[in-house]
């Protein structure tokens, strides 16, 4: 129930961001900022204009000063990436991509996205250029916010990172670029307002928080909430928004104390793991397990599935009570060796509780349809094929199975609407955490 609820809000929000009329309200907000006493501005850190101003080189080879050319007077979203980053960067990039597409219709180019490499030694302008092309193809569009990929002097970049508050007291952790890859520094030099945002929180929150800092009128937030409530309650617009601002009661949901049980996994699957050894899913009883089908001919689909699995692995592998199983029918192409490479690219280590299992096509189909409750493959008409070998369309939802072998959720982490994909990826994480949450420590009473 819960899952459906959050997913249902998605389209409503998406429609809303297209309907916004930002011009008027933004002007009003700006006026208010304009009349604030200079004293208030004095409290801003930028009063001393103390920001470092190193020369950085972008993906086009242009030399730009960080503060003078990129930050001064602007709203910015800054992150620290590196091109061979497997872990957080792809997810951070998805967040940035979503923000840029959301902002295209609203704030447009008044916000700048600055991705600065945390590995400037190896991420030279030549290395960054193809990476940037891959991620920011659409930067030429006049309304898409600019996305700069920047490199420069490693020491200066580290000083800059520290100045932006991304500094660990333990130098080993501080020097590990992956520690800084899951943070967006959102700031507005004009108002002096800055915050750090975790790109892995609920996508709608990332967007809302970012909007508030980059200069979107904060009153808009309430329009969002009112409209959301209206959309999810009755579909009709609210008669009197001021009245409802006092108490926005979200619609009554059946407050089920547990995740719904969608089915029970009956027979286990036996197959070959990428290591070449025979495995069976029956010993996974007692663990929280996430199953997903890999369709190697659908690169975007597999990428989304694997990226979510990777994130789940990174979050929950340490618990020892969690397992991931990627499934694929065996074929002359899809051999255990093939999946060894595949797993390496996905960032799955040998020690990770993450299997890549192949079995006969019929066994896999039986397990995914009868066992996991996924849709049967749909034959794809020739005109819909993106790849000549792509004869079927597969249900690529991830399936969450609890310790008792009960199916507790199916999550569409690959959806044409990236916003919904991200919501689903977030939700499976939250639900997994829920299933893994052990009964709290009991105490002896005094």
Give CA–CA dist 401/383, Å, rounded. 36
Half-sphere exposure of 76 (CA within 13 A, CB side): 21
* Distance in angstroms (rounded) separating the CA atoms of residues 373 and 409: 10
Residue 43 makes contact with another protein by CB under 8 A: yes
Q: Is 155 helix (H, G, I), strand (E, B) or coil?
A: helix
By beta-carbon proximity to another protein, the closer residue of 129 and 238 is 238
Write down the least CB distance from residue 42 to another protein, Å.
4
Q: Which of 323, 231, 239 is nearest to 273 (CA)?
A: 323
Residues 141-180 close enough to bind another protein by CB under 8 A: 163-170, 179-180
* CA gap 438, 442 in Å, rounded: 11
> In angstroms, rounded to a whole number, what is the distance separating the alpha carbons of residues 437 and 432?
8
Greatest alpha-carbon pair distance for the chain in Å reads 73
Q: Does 284 bind another protein (CB under 8 A)?
A: no
Residues 70-89 that bind another protein (CB under 8 A): 88
Q: Which stretch binds another protein (CB under 8 A): 212-220, 291-299, 334-342, 402-410?
A: 212-220
Nearer to another protein, 1 or 386 (CB): 1
Strands 354-359 and 322-329, sheet pairing: parallel
Among 32, 133, 361, 378, binds another protein (CB under 8 A): 32
In the list 127, 129, 248, 380, the residue contacting another protein (rule: CB under 8 A) is 248
Nearer to another protein, 219 or 370 (CB): 219
Which CB, 124 or 198, lies closer to another protein?
A: 198
Q: Which stretch binds another protein (CB under 8 A): 34-42, 65-73, 380-388, 412-420?
A: 34-42
By CB under 8 A, tell whether 49 contacts another protein.
no
Pairing of strands 146-152, 111-117: parallel
**Residue 225 touching another protein (CB under 8 A):** yes
SS3 409: strand
- In sequence order, the 6+-apart residues with CB closer than 8 A to the CB of 291 are 325, 327, 368, 372, 398, 399, 401
* Residue with smaller CB distance to another protein, 235 or 439: 439
- Output the CA–CA distances (angstroms, integers) from residue 397 to 182, 322, 334, in the order listed: 25, 18, 20
DSSP secondary structure of 280-336:
ESGGGTTSEEEEEE--TT-HHHHHHHHHHHHHHHHHHGGGSSEEEEEEEE--SSS-H
Name residues contacting another protein, limited to 415-434 (CB under 8 A).
Answer: 430, 433-434
> Judged by CB under 8 A, which of 12, 14, 26, 33 binds another protein?
33
- How far, in Å, CA of 251 to CA of 346, rounded? 40
Q: Nearer to another protein by C-beta: 12 or 225?
A: 225
In the complex, what is the shortest distance from the CB of residue 79 to another protein, in angstroms, rounded to a whole number?
11
For residues 353 and 20, give the distance between their C-alpha atoms in angstroms, rounded to a whole number.
45
Residues binding another protein: what is the number (CB under 8 A)?
Answer: 80
By CB under 8 A, residue 129 contacts another protein:
no
What does the alpha-carbon distance between residue 110 and residue 145 come to, in Å, rounded to a whole number?
A: 7
Q: Is 64 in the site for another protein (CB under 8 A)?
A: no
Tokens 């020739």 belong to which residue? 382
Smaller CB distance to another protein: residue 192 or 336? Answer: 192
Asked if residue 194 binds another protein (CB under 8 A), the reply is yes
Does position 233 bind another protein by CB under 8 A? no
- Find the shortest distance in angstroms from Cβ 250 to another protein: 5
Least Å distance, CB 59 to another protein, is 25
Q: Write the CB contacts of 216 (distance below 8 Å, at least 6 apart in sequence).
A: 22, 26, 29, 106, 107
The window from 11-19, 238-246, 269-277, 380-388 that contacts another protein (CB under 8 A) reads 238-246
Least distance in Å: CB of 390 to another protein?
A: 37
Which is nearer to another protein, 189 or 293 (by Cβ)? 189
Tell which one of 84, 253, 337, 392 touches another protein (CB under 8 A). Answer: 253
446 interacts with another protein by CB under 8 A: yes
Site membership for another protein, residue 275 (CB under 8 A): no
182 binds another protein (CB under 8 A): yes
Task: Identify the burial level of 190 via C-beta atoms within 10 angstroms of its C-beta, where 0-12 means exposed, 13-18 middle and 19 or more buried.
Answer: middle
Sole binder of another protein in the list 8, 44, 141, 378 (CB under 8 A): 44
Which one among 20, 212, 285, 366 touches another protein, defined by CB under 8 A?
A: 212
Stretch that binds another protein, among 62-70, 149-157, 184-192, 323-331 (CB under 8 A): 184-192
């Amino acid at each position: 129930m819960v899952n459906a609820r959050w997913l249902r809000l998605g389209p409503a929000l998406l429609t809303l961001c297209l309907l916004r009329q930002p011009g008027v309200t933004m002007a009003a907000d700006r006026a208010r900022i304009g009349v604030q006493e200079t004293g208030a501005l004095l409290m801003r850190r930028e009063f001393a204009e103390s920001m470092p101003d190193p020369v950085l080189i972008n993906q086009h080879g242009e030399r730009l000063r960080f503060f003078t050319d990129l930050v001064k007077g602007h709203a910015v979203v800054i992150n620290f990436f590196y091109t061979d980053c497997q872990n957080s960067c792809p997810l951070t990039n998805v967040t940035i991509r979503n923000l840029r597409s959301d902002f295209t219709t609203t704030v447009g180019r008044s916000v700048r996205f600055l991705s600065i490499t945390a590995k400037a030694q190896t991420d030279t302008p030549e290395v960054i250029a193809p990476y940037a092309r891959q991620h920011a193809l659409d930067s030429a569009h006049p309304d898409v916010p600019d996305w700069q990929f920047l490199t420069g002097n490693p020491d200066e970049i580290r000083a800059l990172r520290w100045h932006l508050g991304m500094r660990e007291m333990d130098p080993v952790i501080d020097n590990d670029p992956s520690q800084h890859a899951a943070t967006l520094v959102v700031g507005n030099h004009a108002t002096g307002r800055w915050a750090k945002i975790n790109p892995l929180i609920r996508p709608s929150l990332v967007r809302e928080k970012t909007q508030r800092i980059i200069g979107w009128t904060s009153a808009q937030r309430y329009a969002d909430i009112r409209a959301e409530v209206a959309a999810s309650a009755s579909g009709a617009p609210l008669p009197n928004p001021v009245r409802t601002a006092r108490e926005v009661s979200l619609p009554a949901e059946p407050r089920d104390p547990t995740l719904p049980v969608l089915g029970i996994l009956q027979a286990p699957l036996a197959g070959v793991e990428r290591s070449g050894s025979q495995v069976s899913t029956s010993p996974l009883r007692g663990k929280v397990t996430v199953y997903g089908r890999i369709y190697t001919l659908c690169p975007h689909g597999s990428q989304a599935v694997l990226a979510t699995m990777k994130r789940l692995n990174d979050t929950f592998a340490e618990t020892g009570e969690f397992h991931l199983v990627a499934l694929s029918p065996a074929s002359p192409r899809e051999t255990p060796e093939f999946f060894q490479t595949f797993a390496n690219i996905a960032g799955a280590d040998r020690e990770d509780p993450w299997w890549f299992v192949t079995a006969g096509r019929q066994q896999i189909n039986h397990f995914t349809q009868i066992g996991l409750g996924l849709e049967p493959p749909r034959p794809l008409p020739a005109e819909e094929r993106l790849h000549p070998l792509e004869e079927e369309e597969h249900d690529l939802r991830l399936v969450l199975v609890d310790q008792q072998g009960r199916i507790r959720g199916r999550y569409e982490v690959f959806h044409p609407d990236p916003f919904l994909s991200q919501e689903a990826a977030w939700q499976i994480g939250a639900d997994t955490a829920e299933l893994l949450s052990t009964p709290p420590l009991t105490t002896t009473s005094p």
